[in-house]
Amino acid sequence: MEFASSFLLPALRSLGRNKMRTSLTMLGIVIGVSAVIITVALGDGAGGQMQSTVSALGSNMLMIFPGSPNRNGIQLGSGQTKTLVSADEQGILNDVPNVTGATGGVQTSTQVVWQNNNWFTQVLGTEPSYFPVRAWTFVAGGPFDDSDMEKEANVAVIGETVRRKLFGIVNPIGQVIRIKSLPFRIIGVLAPKGSSGFGQDQDDVIMVPLTTEQRKIVGITWLNWIFVNAASPETSDIVKTDIISLMRDRHKIQPGNEDDFQVQSMAQLADTLKQVTSILTLLLGAVASVALLVGGIGIMNIMLVSVTERTREIGIRIAIGATEWDVQFQFLIEAVMLSLIGGIIGITVGELIAWVVDLALGWAFTISIPAVTLAVVFSATIGIAFGYYPARRASRLNPIEALRYE
C-alpha cells in the first residue's frame, strides 16, 4: 500500500495529466510489440501449415525422380533421364526392408472436355496402389484396378476441382470426358485434399491407369516418379540409403559416377522447412523489434520534457525530504508504466491482427507464450533503459535552483 501511494498513484496521475502526450508516447511501444507478436504468430502459423502439408503427404514417404543426364559434359536438367521404370518399383518392394508400399507414375497437362465445358488440368497415370500410398479416399465411385491396368482401359478418377469445373451439379460417375481426343469414363471422385502448401491445387487432377497414359496419352515406357512408403518416419533414412544402393546396382552405376535418379525424403523436407521457418521468424522478429527501440527513444524524449516541465515540483519534493533515489525511482516507475501499458495494448492488438490474418489464410492460430513473455519483458526493459537517463537527471537537480525555476 505504501509503495502504491508513494509511487504508483503519483505516476498514474502524472501520466493522466497529459493524456494526448502519454498516448502518443505509448503508440511507439504498441506498434513495436504488435509487430513482434504478429511476426511470430504468422511465422508459427506458416510453419504449422507447412508441417501439416508434409504430414498430409506422409512424413514416412520417399519420392524417387529421374536425375540429370550428362552428355559430353553438359547437364540436361533434373528429370530428363529415362531410366526410371516399373521394374525399379518392383525391385524396391521386393528387396528393400521396411517398405510398406510403392507406386509409380507419369504425368502430363492437357485440355479435357465434357460436352460444352473444358478445363486445362494435370492428367496423372498411376497404379491402384497410389491411393493407399497417398491415403487418398473417394467421395463417389472408386479406383481403377489391376484388370484396368492390364487392358489399358480408358477409365478415369477425378479430383474435386475438375469435378466442379466440368460437371457442376451433375453427377460425374459414368460420364465420358475426352482427353487428347480419347474418350474416358469417370469411375470415381476423390475426396478433397486442398492446396499442397506449395501453391499447387491437389484436387486439380485426373488419374488414369499407368499403362493407359504411357501408351495412349504420352507415348513413353519410363516413369516420372516413384513414391515409396517407409514403415515409419524413423526408418525413412535407412530406407533411403537402401533404395540408393539398390538403384545404383540396378542401373549399373559405377563407383564415383553420379546417380541418374534422385531420392527425396519427406522427413528431411519437414526438418528443412522447420529450420527455414524458424530462421525467417527470428529475422522478421528482429526487424520488428526495431520499432520497440524507436518507441523507447520516444519514451526517453518525453520523460526529458517531463523533467523540464516538473523541475519546480522536483525541487519541492527534495526540499521536503525526498531522497535522490525517491525522485529517480518515481521517474523510472513512470517510464516502466508507459512501456508496460503500451506492451499490454500491443499484445492485444497484435494477437487480434494475427488471428484475423491466420483466419483469412486458413492457418491454425496459436498464441506464442514465449513471444508474449518476451514482449512484456522487452517492454519493461525498454522502459528502464530509456527512462534511466531522464530519471537520473531529475534526481540530480539542485533543489535551490529547482525551486527558483519558472
**What DSSP string runs through 137-173?**
-EEEE----HHHHHHT--EEEE-HHHHHHHHTTS--T
**Cα–Cα dist 306/21, whole Å:** 10
For 242, list phi and psi in degrees, rounded to 5.
-65, -40
The 3-state DSSP class for residue 42 equals helix
∠ CA 374-380-382 to the nearest 5 degrees? 95
Under 8 Å between Cβ of 208 and 165: no
Interval 252-261: pLDDT, tens? 888 888 888 8
Q: Give CA–CA dist 183/155, Å, rounded.
A: 9
Residue 383: C-alpha distances to residues 136, 191, 292, 374 (Å): 55, 55, 10, 14
Note the pLDDT of residue 297.
73
As a whole number of angstroms, the distance between CA 244 and CA 239 comes to 9
Name the average pLDDT for the chain: 78
Per-residue pLDDT of 68-106, as tens digits, reads 655 544 445 554 668 888 899 999 999 999 888 899 999
Among 218, 222, 144, 146, residue whose Cα is nearest residue 184:
144
The rounded distance, in Å, linking the Cα atoms of 340 and 332 is 12
Q: Is 41 exposed, middle or buried (0-12, 13-18, 19+ CB in 10 A)?
A: buried
With both helix axes pointing from N to C terminus, report the angle between 19-57 and 324-361 in degrees, rounded to the nearest 10. 40
What's the pLDDT score for residue 214? 93
pLDDT of residue 343: 79
> Virtual CA dihedral for 297, 298, 304, 307, nearest 10 degrees?
-140
Residues above pLDDT 90, as percent of the chain = 26
Of 225, 219, 220, the closest CA to residue 261 belongs to: 225
Task: Tell me what pLDDT residue 347 has.
Answer: 82
The C-alpha atoms of residue 113 and residue 183 are separated, in whole angstroms, by 9
Cβ of 309: how many Cβ atoms within 10 Å? 12
Residue 123 confidence (pLDDT):
94
- The confidence band for 235, taking pLDDT boundaries of 50, 70 and 90, is confident
Match 465434357 to its residue by C-alpha cell. 114
Q: What percent of the chain has pLDDT over 70?
A: 68
CA distance 40 to 358: 12
- Mean per-residue pLDDT for 149-154? 94
Distance, in Å, from the CA atom of 26 to the CA atom of 335, rounded to the nearest integer, reads 10
Task: Report, as an integer, the average pLDDT of 206-223.
Answer: 92
310 is written with which cell numbers? 516538473
20-34, 151-165, 344-358: which range is least confident on average? Answer: 20-34
Is residue 5 pLDDT above 60, yes or no?
Answer: no
The predicted pLDDT at position 48 comes to 66
**What global pTM score does this model have?**
0.61
Q: How confident is the model at residue 2 (pLDDT cuts 50, 70, 90)?
A: very low
* Residue 207 DSSP code: E
Residue 366 reports pLDDT greater than 70: no
- In sequence order, the 6+-apart residues with CB closer than 8 A to the CB of 262 are 64, 65, 66, 67, 78
Distance (Å, whole) CA 162 – CA 179 = 13
Q: At what angle do helices 324-361 and 266-309 cross, to 10 degrees?
A: 140
Strand partners, 112: 119, 179
What confidence category does residue 290 fall into, taking pLDDT thresholds of 50, 70 and 90?
confident
Cα 406 to Cα 403: distance, rounded to the nearest angstrom: 8
- CA nearest 223: which of 101, 127, 319, 367? 127
19-46: pLDDT as tens digits: 777 777 777 778 777 877 777 777 776 6
Predicted pLDDT at 300 = 72
pLDDT at 346: 82
